[in-house]
Amino acid sequence: MSALTGALGDGAVVAKRNLIKIKRSPELLIFSTLQPIMFILLFAYVFGSAIGQDRTGVNYREFLIAGIFAQTVIFGATLTGAGLADDMKKGIIDRFRSLPMSRSAVLVGRTTSDVLNNVLVITVMSLTGLVVGWRIRTSFLEALAGFLLLLLFAYAISWVFAWIGLLVPSVEVVQSASFIVIFPMTFIANTFVPESGLPGPLRTVAEWNPVSSLTQAARELFGNVAADMPEPTAWPLQNPVLYTLIWSVLILVVFVPLAVRQYKRAASR
């Protein structure tokens, strides 16, 4: 128990350090919030008229926001990998290694600070969504559950990128790898259009894609699903909250030990 308490305490110190780093580099925060705002405005006003309510069964702007939330928090998780790769390159990890601190504290602090960054980004996105016409039509607790589910899944993905960030040699490689993985992952899904409109194989991929279940869960918890929309036929979209939780736990169980092990290897070079 003392080891766990020490790891959490050290992790809180590292998280504070990362938040101060963001404060000293406000450009990072500005651009990480401008991107989702740009996506909301583009899809709401440029593509929204082409897709329309007849494709989604609900006001497209309400249909859209949950997908933008899911895409943004997943892309935000890549900051973990980029940050760790940058620390490795600059020798910060070597400095941490010389301190009497838990080996896992660097990873706990990094992933925690990125969750807090995602909280701020989601807040800005929510305000932008309200401006373009998005509304939460459920209770406060259901809406809170929707936001927490988004943050939990993003936290799990951040451990994947923590492992990648310690595995590859530079920030540029992390960014390239994240784009190759996340871009199709977030577009072959129901983030921007209903999965029912996709061709056969792509529809199957979208139905079992955890990003789709995350988006569907957020839509249901925010009350952005029309009563006359056809019921999903795939089990993950019929049980989106459960399916998303299963994926989140599975990712954490696999990648937390992998990231910690890779950190020990990287720190001993």
Q: What is the pLDDT of residue 1?
A: 43
Helix axes 240-267, 105-132, angle to 10 degrees: 140
Q: What is the pLDDT of residue 17?
A: 66
Q: Does pLDDT of 11 surpass 70? A: no
Distance from C-alpha of 91 to C-alpha of 184, rounded to nearest angstrom: 33
Q: Does pLDDT of 260 surpass 80? A: yes
Task: Please tell me the pTM assigned to this model.
Answer: 0.87
Helix (H, G, I), strand (E, B) or coil at 222: helix
- 66 neighbors 219 (Cβ within 8 angstroms): yes
Q: Select the more confidently predicted residue: 1 or 160.
A: 160
- Both tokens assigned to 205: 């991929």
**Choice among 2-11, 107-116, 117-126, 232-241 with the minimum mean pLDDT:** 2-11
- Both tokens assigned to 262: 């890779």
- 117 neighbors 76 (Cβ within 8 angstroms): yes
The ranges assigned to domains in the chain are: 2-267
User: Tokens 């969504």 map to which residue?
Assistant: 129
Q: What is the pLDDT of residue 234?
A: 93
- 142 neighbors 223 (Cβ within 8 angstroms): yes
